[in-house]
A and B are shown apart, each in its own frame.
Chain A
């Protein structure tokens, strides 16, 4: 297991270099630069040129990238061009709401998907199964922003049960914090639940045809016991894969949900930074999102080993 983790960590280095270099190149190929944005009202071209020189934006791209890498190796992500704040501070402050939202969304999706997925598989080709399929199609097709607005209208404006927008930290104000995250978590969780439901249904169906299930039934175990002890664990591998891949997306890619609910998350930070052409900030956030993806995949691999000993021994 230790070797697996080490090998996977070693493999992340080239991935990170590729990702950051790619983003760096794309960002600089995009028209517009941070000085134009900061000085939209200023008129003097020489003022802008001086500032560009001072910030090192006039140097060749590979020099700028090497300088950024050099600082990174010393543990320095640099400072935002727009407001001078250290990138690491901006990102770490945003990470908390994003993580909380991601975990809550995942919880929402599991609470829905595990029973629905199981039920659909066990009651295959019945109206229950078809209802589950309808739910899944609805969840996958429903655009995030529309679902968010509908939820806000219904639970925030009409019933007034939950706040319309904004973020309160659940770790600081438990109840109010949870209330502020419920609607965004449901928005994200519903789509994820749809995917997980379908994945779980098919993997349970597959497991149900295995020999060990027939053996278990032959032993006289109750159907519930068969599913809980034998089917579910074996059917979880694809589900863990899906969730692992989605965790990274939930942390860094919940931009629309963050915008609609005015949540101060990582997704919004990176999009605003792109619009402002705040290069160091974009680079820093992208790097951390990439690290997040890699780590969540690593966790998935470790979980595989735990769920399925055959993978561990390989």
Chain B
């Protein structure tokens, strides 16, 4: 069947992506030309501009693309989403509420100051107390940080948090020079000079024009890169123009190829496309706190009326896979035995009757006014019409979408989550009962789900956690705080002279070992 085939292909791709690192993107056999060499400027095209250079204040995905080259987290991800040492050489967990990190010695921030236990504690405290910190939620389980010795820190947790280690592979684990924060704190948002420890140093950022970083000549790791002299990021908002810039050699890398362009780009011999499977979860939240979706049967009627295969094929052009829940196939917690909800119009009709609307009902979908979202909304509208459900489409900009979501001013609303390496990041904050506003826009409050989610944080055994997430996925398919649509693939495109890129499924482009032929 088409969907099985496409899922198989996707999993195969994940396997390829998570296998041997693509030391060469080029199919030619390895030879003398494949020895990495130093030098050159890598020119990267992005669809939008970074928002801030301060990882503790960052709330947008694009920022992380730059951060992963300037800053380093305590621990990092490998291509299989396993956790490996970063600024921390090793770690241990003597009990469920304690996490001890041995920090790497001889690491200096770009401003010349030492990275050590005091610096790490400073960073955690900043994330917890700075008023504009967007990291507060991620480090909420940390009660306090003790400096054990100059290169050892101890995190004392308020409660067990099995997902914390994975959370520290990204911005919440990134270490910023305390000196830079103290001396130029407010300016750090637009000038990260001296602030990181990473393989590249911040040089300059001319807003909406370019952001330049250069090789860190005194990088602590003497193995591998950094090889590139400089990396120059440019925002090119128009997808067609960005692609043409790559094809004409004005840029060497582009962060994302639109599904509509993938087939054409793959046919172009001057461009190498790497399908990077993502952690993302694209879905629609259903508002449980008001009609019509406070009635479970009506939520189910919508879910059974949707044909995910058709959406993934027609709208996403198979650059993604139908979702069975919030956890993507790249995750160790993904349960392939759970099928995505299948279209079943008879069942949908029965659920309409059960929900007291045998002749159908109508509701409004709120979604972003961007082409692929609009197309998806129109397909869904047509599919629901066949099930006697009439859906109006309300197109908004993202600020309005966030505001409508936070105030629960919606019936069904688009939610596109970029995903987190631990399944906790795709689940807990969306489905756990939370007073006030949070990312749980649906307003779901279910004791069974709450208990499961709490348990996933307490248990550290991965097999046991996987079982819990499978149970959760099954309940979510029944309770439907969201209708899950697609786990997209995020294809990136390169000039053939770019070598050494490792496609890690968090989609971040780490250029430490990248070089130009």
Write the residues of chain A forming the contact surface with B, with a CB cutoff of 8 angstroms: 30-33, 36-47, 50-51, 54, 82-85, 90, 93-94, 149, 152-153, 156-157, 160, 163-167, 259-262, 264, 268-269, 272, 275-277
Contacts and interface: CB of A to CB of B under 8 A. Distances in A.
Given A40-B60, A276-B399, A45 B237 contact: no
Nearest first, the 9 A-B pairs at minimum CB distance are: A32-B399, A264-B208, A32-B403, A45-B436, A43-B137, A36-B402, A43-B438, A264-B209, A31-B400
Contacts, number: 137
B208 A268 contact: yes
Given A164-B241, A164-B250, 5 more contacts: A37-B398, A164-B245, A165-B250, A264-B209, A276-B399
Interface string B165-197: 000000000000000000000110110000000
A156 B248 contact: yes
B102 interface: no
B59 A40 contact: yes
B248 A157 contact: yes
Interface in B196-255: 206-209, 234-238, 240-242, 244-245, 247-248, 250
A32 B400 contact: yes
Interface stretch (B128-136, B281-289, B447-455): B128-136
B134 A38 contact: yes
Interface in B407-456: 409, 429, 434, 436-439
A223 B397 CA distance: 58
Nearest to A41: B59
Given A54-B131, A264-B209, A275 B186 contact: no
A84 B437 CA distance: 26
Nearest to B439: A43
A82 B250 contact: no
Contacts of A31: 396, 399-400, 403-404, 409
5 contacts: A37-B402, A40-B402, A164-B250, A166-B245, A166-B250
Contacts of A262: 208, 234-238, 241
B49 interface: yes
Given A44-B136, A152-B241, A259-B238, A164 B402 contact: no
Contacts of A275: 397-399
Contact of A38 (B59, B187, B436, B439): B59
B51 interface: yes
Contacts of A82: 51-52
Interface string B115-156: 000000000000000011110110010000000000000000
A262 B44 CA distance: 14
A272 B397 CA distance: 11
Given A36-B399, A41-B59, A269 B208 contact: yes
A210 B82 CA distance: 85
A84 B399 contact: no
B406 interface: yes
Q: How large is the interface on B (under 10, 10 to 19, 20 to 34, 35 or more residues)?
A: 35 or more
The dominant DSSP class at the B interface is: loop
B136 A42 contact: yes
A96 to B, nearest CB: 11
B248 A164 contact: yes
A44 B435 CA distance: 10
A236 to B, nearest CB: 37
B161 to A, nearest CB: 15
Contacts of B208: 94, 262, 264, 268-269, 272
Contacts of B247: 157
Nearest to B236: A262
A149 B209 CA distance: 20
Nearest to B425: A41
Contact of A84 (B189, B238, B402, B438): B189
Contacts of B399: 30-33, 36-37, 275-277
A153 B241 CA distance: 9
A165 B245 contact: yes
Nearest to A97: B209
B434 A157 contact: no
Contacts of B134: 38-39, 41-42
A269 B241 CA distance: 19
A82 B399 CA distance: 13
Contacts of B402: 32, 36-37, 40
Contacts of A39: 59, 134
Instruction: Select the residue from A38, A41, A264 with max chain B CB neighbours within 10 A.
Output: A41
Contact of B244 (A47, A84, A93, A157): A157
A84 B131 contact: no
Interface in B331-351: none
A260 B241 contact: yes
B248 A160 contact: yes
A157 B189 CA distance: 36
Nearest to B43: A166
Contacts of B190: 83-85
Contacts of B238: 165, 259-260, 262
B438 A47 contact: no
Interface string B53-79: 000010110000000000000000000
A230 to B, nearest CB: 47
Given A45-B438, A149-B241, A83 B248 contact: no
Contacts of A163: 250
Counting chain A CB atoms within 10 Å of each CB, the highest count among B234, B240, B409 belongs to: B240
Contacts of A37: 59, 398-399, 402
A99 B59 CA distance: 33
Contact of B52 (A36, A44, A83, A90): A83
Contacts of A165: 236, 238, 241-242, 244-245, 250
A45 B438 CA distance: 7
B413 to A, nearest CB: 13
Contacts of B438: 43-45
Nearest to B132: A51
Contacts of A43: 137, 429, 434, 438-439
A85 to B, nearest CB: 6
B132 A33 contact: no
Contacts of B436: 44-46
A50 B397 CA distance: 25
Contacts of A83: 51-52, 189-190
